[in-house]
């Protein structure tokens, strides 16, 4: 369902041209006046990223499973800065796999069907969606068996996964159904999923979704459209995952749950922060198929494991791993929290991720600051905060570890810098000989006034923990003492964070001392 907002109009007009909502089906059909003679470096980088994911350039980082949705959206935003040749390539990348103007016409593209494959394309439709595939064994234009072929059993599993995802995400969880593709050009006004060979051994692109706009936007000048329909593509056999520990059936159904949620997101607002899009789509995999554990591989790239990485990091891994942040907030505040975030986003339009989250958290009796602070604490001891923390959640990596003793009673003065929505973590252990009533004192002096926060966690030998938030009074020095006897304390963890949504480089001067 398309959202329209009068309040968002002024914000939309202030956006850079490349981010201004299009009133056409895609940037490919926008007026192409003032085409630059050469693509800008940022636009060229965006195009290269999509081609990387197709396996036409360098392998993607670490060969980690991924999707190409964010890369395509980023290329879409940079479309106006592409030169004529790069625009032609982008046109193909934006097109559906069976489109005559699609990437089959582009020599560097690999996500489309050729003439023979398109002619052999079959579909299975119901009143909500269609699944399109090339039957296994179909010859391509060269006469060789098509690498895009899918077996009937695989198709059946895809249809079942689409139904399950729709029932879970729309019927049960209450998200708006994604718009169909309209009835123009033979469309059936249904949601379309294509099974195409998207993955290579070095580039595990398991699928993607791309927004379109099949219906005309409102003519009222007081409204701006931010919601779009779209189509999804998922790999045709998941064969490239052999040996990775993820089975074909699990990979297929979690990929469909993921891409289907991207289509739902498009209906609310395609201009939201990429990390919100990807972290909630990865989180949705776990909601639809909680028993599959299809996304633990991404946790090693998450801000939970790497607290110095901002929550909104976009590096091809962290944005997927940070589904664990959404999991924590929904376990604390309720599963509807993510729904309310997207409803807030759709009601305003444009990139308003932070305010949409703040409003949703406020409605649940919390705040963005409190949820970030709780994430810092939880990351130091996942098993105590997440319902599945014992299973496969890796704890935060410490920036520094100390052991203090009667011979070394202080760490001395140190400084640490935390970027926006990130932290630096430390572990301090008592020497075995500190058996008396010893205390550990933290002295932390932030160099900036606002958005300083953190958490202290005392881990006791009997298994329980003591926790306390670090609340800084407008940049004042903070002193905090805690038990440190080796008879009862195993270690103390401290996280110093930066709750700002954009300002990097918050520096803390700090030290730890023991006394009795």
Are residues 352 and 405 both part of a single domain? no
Q: Count of domains in the chain?
A: 2
Residue 263, domain extent: 41-294+334-366
For residue 506, tell me if it sits in a domain.
yes
What number of CA atoms fall less than 13 Å from residue 288's CA on the CB side?
A: 32
pLDDT band of residue 512 (cuts 50, 70, 90) is very high
Are residues 263 and 121 both part of a single domain? yes
For residue 310, tell me if it sits in a domain.
no
Q: Where are the alpha helices (DSSP H) in 167-310?
A: 248-268, 274-288
pLDDT band of residue 34 (cuts 50, 70, 90) is confident
| Rounded CA separation 143/151 (Å) | 19
User: Nearest-5° angle of CA 338, CA 340, CA 342?
Assistant: 75
> What is residue 430's predicted lDDT score, i.e. its pLDDT?
98
Are residues 407 and 351 both part of a single domain? no
Q: Do 213 and 22 contact (CB within 8 A), yes or no?
A: yes
Beta strands 129-135 and 191-196: pairing type?
parallel
Q: Tokens 């690999």 map to which residue? A: 110
User: In the chain, what's the furthest Cα-to-Cα distance?
Assistant: 82
Are residues 361 and 467 both part of a single domain? no
Are residues 137 and 259 both part of a single domain? yes
Residue 19 DSSP SS3: helix
pTM greater than 0.85? yes
Are residues 175 and 95 both part of a single domain? yes
Last residue of a domain, one of 324, 351, 366: 366
* CA dist 101 → 80, 89, 92, 104 (Å): 19, 10, 6, 8
Counting DSSP H helices and E strands in the chain, the numbers are 14, 15
For residue 232, tell me if it sits in a domain.
yes
Are residues 351 and 406 both part of a single domain? no
Are residues 339 and 430 both part of a single domain? no
Q: CB under 8 Å to 284, separation ≥6 — which residues? A: 169, 257, 258, 261
For residue 174, tell me if it sits in a domain.
yes
| Rounded CA separation 246/257 (Å) | 16
Q: Where are the alpha helices (DSSP H) in 145-273?
A: 152-166, 248-268
Last residue of a domain, one of 321, 342, 366: 366
Taking the mean position of all CA atoms in its chain, how far away is CA 213? 23
For residue 392, tell me if it sits in a domain.
no
Last residue of a domain, one of 349, 366, 383: 366
- CATH number of residue 407's parent domain: 2.60.120.680
Q: For residue range 281-324, list pLDDT tens digits in order.
A: 999 999 999 988 756 778 999 999 999 999 999 888 899 999 99
Q: Tokens 């935060």 map to which residue? A: 396
Are residues 487 and 360 both part of a single domain? no
Among 290, 405, 313, which Cα is nearest to 61's?
A: 313
Q: For residue range 328-385, list pLDDT tens digits in order.
A: 999 999 999 999 999 999 988 778 899 999 999 999 999 999 999 999 999 999 999 9
Q: What is the DSSP-derived secondary structure letter of residue 43?
A: H
For residue 22, tell me if it sits in a domain.
no
For residue 260, tell me if it sits in a domain.
yes
């Amino acid at each position: 369902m398309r959202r329209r907002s009068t309040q968002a109009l002024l914000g939309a007009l202030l956006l850079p041209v490349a981010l201004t909502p299009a009133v056409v089906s895609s940037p490919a059909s926008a007026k192409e006046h003032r085409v630059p003679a050469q693509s800008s470096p940022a636009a060229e980088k965006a195009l290269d990223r999509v081609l990387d994911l197709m396996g036409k350039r360098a392998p993607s980082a670490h060969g980690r499973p991924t999707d190409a949705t964010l890369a395509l959206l980023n290329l879409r935003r940079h479309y106006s800065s592409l030169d004529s040749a790069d625009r032609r390539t982008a046109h193909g990348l934006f097109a559906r796999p069976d489109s005559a103007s699609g990437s089959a016409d582009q020599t560097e593209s690999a996500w489309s069907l050729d003439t023979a494959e398109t002619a052999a394309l079959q579909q299975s439709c119901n009143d909500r969606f269609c699944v399109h595939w090339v039957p296994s064994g179909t010859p391509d234009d060269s006469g060789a068996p098509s690498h895009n072929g899918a077996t009937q059993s695989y198709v059946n599993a895809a249809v079942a996964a689409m139904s399950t995802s729709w029932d879970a995400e729309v019927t049960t969880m209450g998200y708006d159904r994604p718009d169909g593709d309209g009835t123009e050009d033979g469309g059936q006004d249904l949601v379309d999923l294509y099974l195409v060979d998207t993955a290579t051994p070095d580039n595990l692109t398991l699928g993607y979704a791309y927004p379109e706009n099949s219906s005309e936007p409102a003519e009222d000048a007081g409204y701006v459209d931010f919601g779009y329909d779209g189509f999804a593509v998922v790999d045709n056999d998941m064969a490239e995952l052999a040996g990775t520990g993820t089975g074909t059936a699990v990979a297929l159904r979690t990929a469909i749950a993921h891409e289907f949620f991207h289509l739902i997101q498009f209906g609310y607002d395609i201009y939201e922060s990429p990390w919100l899009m990807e972290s909630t789509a990865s989180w949705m995999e776990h909601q639809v198929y909680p028993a599959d554990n299809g996304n633990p591989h991404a946790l090693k790239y998450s801000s939970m494991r790497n607290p110095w990485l901002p929550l909104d990091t976009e590096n091809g891994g962290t944005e997927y791993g940070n589904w664990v942040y959404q999991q924590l907030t929904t376990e604390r505040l309720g599963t509807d929290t993510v729904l309310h975030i997207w409803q807030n986003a759709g009601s305003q339009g444009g990139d308003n991720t932070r305010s949409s989250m703040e409003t949703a958290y406020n409605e649940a009796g919390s705040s963005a600051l409190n949820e970030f602070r709780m994430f810092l604490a939880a990351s130091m001891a996942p098993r105590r905060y997440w319902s599945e923390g014992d299973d496969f959640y890796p704890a935060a990596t410490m920036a520094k570890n100390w052991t203090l003793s009667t011979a070394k009673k202080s760490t001395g003065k140190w400084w640490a810098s935390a970027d926006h929505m990130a932290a630096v973590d430390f572990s301090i252990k008592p020497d075995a000989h500190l058996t008396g009533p010893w205390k550990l004192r933290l002295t932390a002096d932030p160099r900036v006034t606002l958005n300083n926060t953190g958490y202290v966690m005392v881990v006791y030998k009997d298994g329980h923990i003591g926790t306390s938030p670090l609340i800084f009074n407008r940049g004042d020095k903070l002193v905090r003492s805690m038990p440190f006897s080796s008879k009862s304390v195993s270690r103390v963890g401290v996280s110093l964070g930066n709750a700002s949504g954009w300002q990097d480089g918050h520096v803390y001067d700090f030290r730890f001392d023991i006394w009795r």
